[in-house]
Structures are given as C-alpha cells and as structure tokens.
Amino acid sequence: MFNTTLYGSTAVLVFAAVLDYWLGDPRGWWHPVQGMGWVITHVSRLAFRFLQTPVALRWAGVFLGSSLIVGSGLVGWLLVAIAHHTHPLLGTMTASVLLASCLAGRSLRDAANDVLSALSTGDLVNARRRLSQYVGRDTDGLSETEILRAVFETVTENATDGVLAPLFYALVGALLPGGSVPLALAYKAASTLDSMVGYRDAPYTDLGWFSAKTEDVLTWLPCRLTVLTIALLSRRPLHVWRLCLRDAPQDPSPNSGWSECAYAAALDVQVGGINWYRGAAKHKPLLGDALQPMTASAVDHALRLTRWSMLLWLAVFLSALYVRSVLSFE
C-alpha cells in the first residue's frame, strides 16, 4: 500500500515539517480547518433549530463529533490514495501538504510575533487589538505584562494540541497502512470540534460534551509526552515534573494546565491569574513559580522549546524506523 515504506513515511514527515516551518498557513489559502468549521457550524445550527431536549442534543453531539473525526480521516486517506495512484511523487506531495496543514508551529510563531512586534514599539493599543484576534479573553486595558502572559499561555497551551499532538498521531499513522495523514487530520477535526463547540456553557453544554471529552482523551498521552520532553530539554527534569505535579492538577482542563505548567516551570515564570471574559472575571490557577519576570524573551524561548521538541520527536522516530529497517534486512 501507499506510504508504508521507510522512505515514503520519512519523506512525508520531513517535508511536512519543513513546509510548516517555512510556509505555515498562508493567508487566503484554503485550509482543511475551514471545511471542518463549515460542517460544524451548519450541523450545529440544524441541531439547535430542530432538537430541543438535552438528550437529543447529546446524541447530535455524538453524531457530529464521530462523523467529522472519522470523515476527516477518510477524506485525507482518499485524497492521498488518489494522488498516489496518479503518481507516487504526487502522492508524497499531497500527503506532505495535508500533514503540514495539521501542524501549527509557524502559525503560533507568527501570531506571537504579531503581538510582540507591537509591544516592542510600546504600542499597547495595537498590541491589545492584535491579541484579541488570537485569544478569547477581553484584551481592553491589559498591561504589557498581562499581554505577555496571554501570549505565553496561548503559545504553550497550543504547543500541545496545535503542534505536538498532531505530530504524535502522524508518527503513529506512519506505522499503519494508511500513513500519517488520516490520523493527523482526524485529531485536527477533534481539536477543531473542541474549540468550536466543546464548552460547558450554554448553548453548547449538551451538543459539545462528546467533542470536549473526545479531545481530552486524544490529547492526554501526547500532552504527557510533551511535558516529559520539555522537562528533558530544560535540563531540570525533576524540577519541571515536581511543579507540574504540584500545580497542573488545579487546572480544570486535564491537558492545558500540564502543557502551560511545563513551559512555565522550565523558564521559571508563572502563568494563570485573573482573566476577563465578556466583562466577567475568571480565576485561573497559578502555574509555576515567578522566579523570572514575564518577557518577550520568555515567549520566544517557549517557541524554541516547541520547535526543539518537534525535532526531537522526529529524530527519535526516524532513527527507530531506520534501526528497524536495518534489523529487518539482516
């Protein structure tokens, strides 16, 4: 089958990583998440229009979540299969582009730099406006330190579900007949579902419960692997792990608190505190110790840690593939 050889799997993974680093998601280009978002929006509208009871909405949530996750994986598999049938090189290129679309490393870096560039000139008004495009919290009136904390929290939370978790499923998929793309796209669908309907608040309480729980389960293992990787890269693994055990369980999310805390512990900064959403204050638990001030350098260092984590995972996996191929040949 396509994309099952050592060379095919290696080429797709490497090309996708390079595309994400150098190109990212160009503005104006169609992205698979747009298609996923279109489906979620229209199915949600139909559900809210015709279903009135919590039980019915919950079953609609199961249908929406399972069909989009499985369907995204199948569509990805079909596109790569058709392209590979046309020409193996076209198949590799198609798989690489689709996999790159699942990785948000460049997008995170661009978003952070967009806000930081305004801060570097002292333009707080513009920095707040730009930040509002990337976070759900109220940004009016945020101080420079609060803006930096918001950027840091966004970068470190999304490092897992936007970069390393999709990569994890791509690596797992590379060991399967269908290749990296189906599992990576399926996870991307779960992440998109969670970001659009996975809320405890009305009106998504019932419709979004399945999407929220599914994303939590799918992210749990790659999140813990991310924490371990950041701990190793920090060269203080016991320190990072100790702070994560102390602080991360206080966060209501089973994953985002661990991801944010690992980076905070590695860089000796503290995240969490009071955030405002539509005028209402919400307290997030404090993660890490404030041994160093929150700075633009801390954000940049967090982005580098994510890049190094991604490279480390790829290097370990590809080395293991190579060793396995050598042993099999012998």
Position 57 in a domain: yes
- Which amino acid is located at 45 in the chain? R
Residue 1 lies in a domain: no
pLDDT at position 25, please?
Answer: 84
pLDDT in tens, 195-219: 999 998 889 999 999 999 999 999 9
* Helix orientation angle between 209-233 and 296-329, rounded to the nearest 10 degrees: 90
pLDDT per 10-residue tile (average), the chain, 330 residues? 59 95 86 96 96 96 98 98 95 96 95 96 96 94 96 97 97 93 98 95 94 97 98 97 97 95 98 92 95 97 98 94 73
Residue 137 covered by a domain: yes
Distance, in Å, from the CA atom of 179 to the CA atom of 84, rounded to the nearest integer, reads: 12
> Can you read off the two tokens belonging to residue 247?
């602080």
Alpha carbon distances (Å) from 165 to 21, 108, 133, 301, 319? 16, 14, 23, 20, 20
Does residue 178 belong to any structural domain of this protein? yes
Q: Amino acid identity, residue 139?
A: T
DSSP single-letter state for residue 253: S
Instruction: State the residue for tokens 């060379």.
Output: 7
The label of the residue with tokens 């042993």 reads: 327
State how far the Cα of 313 lies from the Cα of 321, in Å rounded to an integer: 12
Percent of all residues in the chain with a pLDDT value above 70, rounded to a whole number:
97
Beta pairing partners, 219: none
The answer to whether residue 306 is domain-embedded is yes
- Residue 283 pairs with which residues in a beta bridge? 274
**Does residue 249 have a cis bond before it (omega within 30 degrees)?**
no
29 in any annotated domain: yes
Residue 11 within a domain: yes
What pTM was estimated for this model as a whole? Answer: 0.94
What pLDDT is stored for residue 323 in this prediction?
82
Residue 30, token pair as written in the block? 């169609």
Q: At what angle do helices 256-267 and 209-233 cross, to 10 degrees?
A: 20
Residue 200, domain member (yes or no): yes
Which structural domain, as residue segments, surrounds residue 115?
6-329
Q: How far apart are CA 230 and CA 307, in angstroms?
A: 11
Instruction: Collect contacts of 127-133 with beta carbons under 8 A, ≥24 apart.
Output: none
Secondary structure (3-state) at 262: helix
Q: In this predicted model, what pLDDT tens digit does every residue of 141-197 receive, in sequence order?
A: 999 999 999 999 999 999 999 999 999 999 999 999 899 999 999 999 999 999 999
Take residue 195 and report the two structure tokens written for it: 């970001």
Asked if residue 257 lies in contact with residue 248, where contact means CB atoms within 8 angstroms, the answer is: yes
Distance of alpha carbon 188 from alpha carbon 169, whole angstroms? 10
Residue 68 has a pLDDT of 98
How far does Cα 325 stand from its chain's mean position? 31
The pLDDT score that the predictor gives to residue 9 is 81
Total domains in the chain come to 1
Q: Which residues contact 71 (CB under 8 A, 6 or more apart)?
A: 189
The CA radius of gyration of the chain, in Å to the nearest whole number, is 20
